[in-house]
Structure 1
Amino acid sequence: MNQTTDSHLLAGFSGHVVLVGAGQMGGALLAGWLRLGLSPQRVTVLDPKPPANIQAVIEASGVALNPPAPAFADVLVIAVKPQIADEVMPLVTHVVARTTVVVSVMAGKTLARMEEVFGRETAIVRTIPNTPAAVGRGITGAAPNRHVSEAQRQSVDSLLGAVGRVEWLAREDWIDIVTAVSGSGPAYVFLLAETLAKAGVAAGLPLELSARLARATVEGAAELMHRSPDIEPTTLRQNVTSPNGTTHAALQVLMAHDGVDSLFEKAVAAAARRSRELAG
């Protein structure tokens, strides 16, 4: 998002947001909300020990931290690690009212499981963001249950949109595939930079030079794609591939039978399968 033009997008949000968990993802959301004009008086953070950088944001902005009797939430965002989710969720049911929408930023917790905790009539949105949210360039998949109203959906969209794009999913079971594609996806890109650097070393370059070249190439290609929203990645690839040139020679290896396409299909399938296993 453009901070200059979008800095007041949440200024008109009239609800009360309770954020449970101010770690990496919760902290990114909080920073995004404040940057986009959400009044600090409309946010309560529940976290026994926020990271130092988020603690500084909380203190500087005047956001309420762990008040003894937090008000009911219009939007309850739970951003805790899945290992402690079952312990934490029952501790925050007291801020859920009939009009609350609960937003899960917890891997592996299904809508059915959250309905068991918060009530089967509660509006709930299950999401899977990714780590580029920390720099406002994330993308979040969001699956609502049947109780989420259009107004609640718009509120959630605005809040999640503070850290990047939001894609609403027609089916909850797509969450596992979204996890495999975009949730885990940044690691695949980092691996590409790492592997490309190693290949340069194997071909004869010094390690530090090859690492700089690989990193800058991945950064630049991603930015080019970002700035070309109407051009498909396939076209961008073809634009830099001269017939029988150097890029063509490399792509013949990468795209050969059982090459990178097959590897990615297997990798995404493995990640999606593991996501389903973690959800039980």
Structure 2
Amino acid sequence: MAKLVLLHKSDSIYDDELDVVYDFPRNYLKALREAEGDWIVYYEPVKSGPRGYFAVAKIQKIIPKPNVEGRYLALIEKGSYLPFDSEVPRLFNGRPLESSLAEPDGTARRGGAVQLAVRRLPEDEFARIVNLGLPADLESIENARYEPNAKKFDDEVAAFDRPVIERLTRRPYRDVAFRRKVRDAYDFRCAISGLQLRNGGGRPEVQAAHIRPVERGGSDAVRNGLALSGTIHWMFDRGLISVADDCETVLVSRNKVPVDVIDRLLRPDGKLWKPSDERNWPSPVNLKWHRENVFGQVIDNEEISWN
């Protein structure tokens, strides 16, 4: 196995869905075959955008791309994709984070490996990039974000010295990372009500909801998330509300939700409030899954009172 850096451009001609599949040509097949079952870091080159290293994922399997000669697909292991809390630039203190991109004196190399869309990444460099993008103490950072004097987590929860891979597969850590990215993408505003509520201490009341739950094949990509208030999150998870195939009209199970409740909870235009960055807009595929598998379904005999 081998860890890699995979380049992705926002205007790529390849059919990438980074939390699901990475599309690549034959000349990178050997390297990607070596990475089956191992982790990769996604990188956006400077000329394409400002993100640098921006996410991590695990390759499950490599397959030929159906009906396309000379192209292949790296299938991403379900639940492995995780965006960095902070994007990591290619240069750190003026020097490349990848040794293959550095001259013997440590300065940045031009051309050569810099142009490769797939680069092998030594274990120590993988760990360094991930640690910069996803700090080991992210849970503690979030815990103290709105309460600077908050008590630190106890040792059982904190375990800030966890190895990188163990941290990347630990659900509580991933939940915190997902929540931070989704709420930030939506500017701490509920996507359905449009409200930006905060409590007296400044803590935002909005939550991060998975459109397609991780346990049902969803990912921790921001595009699989919606920032929702607590009540609307509860309604979304129970299929009382969803989003239409135009990816912006809010659907309501009107035989289960009273009109006065709808009037209080939805934006006046009945449309979804979206992030400013289109790359974070909810995935049409995941919204379709929610409509077909959650919206309007029976709610496990749960009694609902709207009083």
Give yes or no for TM over 0.5: no
Say which structure is richer in strand: 2
Higher helix share: 1
Report the TM-score, using the length of structure 1 for normalisation: 0.25
TM-score, normalising length from structure 2?
A: 0.23
